[in-house]
Amino acid sequence: MPTKTFTKKTTTKKELTKKLGKSAKKNAVPAFFPKYPEHRKADLVTCDQYRDLNVSRAKRLQGYVRENETLGEYTFRLFPNSIASQYLRKTKRLSDIDVLSNIVDEFVTNHGMDIPAKDVMVMHLRVGDVIDRTSIPVDDFLNQRVNSFKAIYGYDCTQYGWSPVYVRCLASFDRALKKTKELGFRKISLVYGFHIKPGIKANISIQKSKEYLAALMKYAQSQGFEVEMITHTDADVSFAYGCKAKHFMPGGGGFSKLMSKVVRAKGNYVYHVRI
C-alpha cells in the first residue's frame, strides 16, 4: 500500500499546554524500565556499522557491557531471543523486511499477543532518552519542535541526513488527531517505550516523559478519542504490536521508521504527519 503524507500547518497552543501541565503531572501513565539498556533493534537491522560498534566505552553502559564487546555481541548475550538477535541469525542483509516481518509474526504467535483492531489508529511516540537526557522542560517539548540530538550531544546531526527532531509537539499531535478523525477513527493506541535505566547516567529518570505522555493522552481524550497506552519492559512487544497495525502513524527515529516498513510490507496503511 502507498505511504500517505499529510503536512497541514497549524499553530502551537501554548495556552492549552499550560492547562495540561498541572493535570499531566497528576496523571499516571504506564512506564516500565527495561531489564537491560540499549536494545537498539533499528540500528542492528538497518545499519551494518552499528553491528560491530564497540559499546564497552559507553559510560552509561558501565556494568552491562564487557571489554571490547560490540553491539551485536551485547545483543546476543543480553537479548538472545529478541527480534534483533533472530534477525541477525537469519540474515546478514540490511533491512530485509520480509525476514523481519516473518519474525514478527512468529513473535506474536509465540507470545499469544493481542494485535490492534481494524478500527484503531496506532501512533508511535518517541520518548525516553530524547526527552529525559536533556535539560529541556516538558512544556518546551509540547510547545515547539525540539532538536533532541543537539540538546544531548551538543552538535547538529542534519549534516548526516538524520532528522534531529524525535518528539512530536502538541501542534503536531493535534494535526495527527485531526487526520485520524478525518479518516473516521475514534480510537487511538499510543505506543512508546524507554531505552534508559536509573543509575546508568546521573540524574536520569523518566518523569519528564511520563508528564509529556500524560499531557498528550489528556489532550486526545479532550478531543473525544478513546485512548489506549501500549508499552512494555520488552521493546519487542511494543514493536510487534505496532508492526501488526492496520493503520499506523509513525513518530520520530529509526525504531518508528522500521515499524512503518513492516506495516507497509503487510499491505497495511502508514500515514505520515510531520513531527
Q: How confident is the model at residue 107 (pLDDT cuts 50, 70, 90)?
A: very high
What's the rounded Cα separation, in Å, for the pair 19 and 14? Answer: 9
| pLDDT reading at 23 higher than 60 | no
Asked whether the beta carbons of 218 and 23 are under 8 A apart, the reply is yes
Q: Which long-range contacts link 266-270 to residues 24+ away (Cβ below 8 Å)?
A: 266/101, 267/1, 268/1, 269/1, 269/4, 270/1, 270/3, 270/4
Mind listing the domains of the chain with CATH numbers?
Answer: 4-36+115-273 (3.40.50), 41-110 (no CATH)
54: number of Cβ within 10 Å: 14
185: number of Cβ within 10 Å: 18
Q: How confident is the model at residue 58 (pLDDT cuts 50, 70, 90)?
A: confident
Helix, coil or strand: residue 102: helix
* 150-176 tens-digit pLDDT: 998 888 887 777 788 999 999 999 999
Helix, coil or strand: residue 265: helix
More confidently predicted of 99 and 55: 99
What is the DSSP-derived secondary structure letter of residue 141?
H
Longest dimension (CA), the chain: 53
pLDDT of 181 reads: 98
Grid coordinates 502508514 are at which residue?
270
| pLDDT reading at 185 higher than 70 | yes
Asked whether the beta carbons of 173 and 219 are under 8 A apart, the reply is yes
Between the CA of residue 166 and those of 145, 150, 204, what are the distances in Å? 9, 11, 18
pLDDT of 217 reads: 98
Q: How confident is the model at residue 10 (pLDDT cuts 50, 70, 90)?
A: very low
Q: Among 76-90, 117-131, 190-204, 259-273, name the one with the lowest average pLDDT.
A: 190-204
pLDDT of 34 reads: 87
What's the rounded Cα separation, in Å, for the pair 220 and 177? Answer: 7
Task: Please name the helix (run of DSSP H) or strand (run of DSSP E) that holds residue 186, with its range, or none.
Answer: none
Between the CA of residue 67 and those of 35, 201, 264, what are the distances in Å? 20, 19, 39
pTM, to two decimals: 0.89
Instruction: Determine whether 234 is exposed, middle or buried from the number of CB atoms within 10 Å of its CB (0-12, 13-18, 19+).
Output: buried
| pLDDT reading at 104 higher than 80 | yes
What's the rounded Cα separation, in Å, for the pair 66 and 61? Answer: 10
Cα 241 vs. chain centroid, distance in angstroms? 12
The residue length of the chain stands at 275
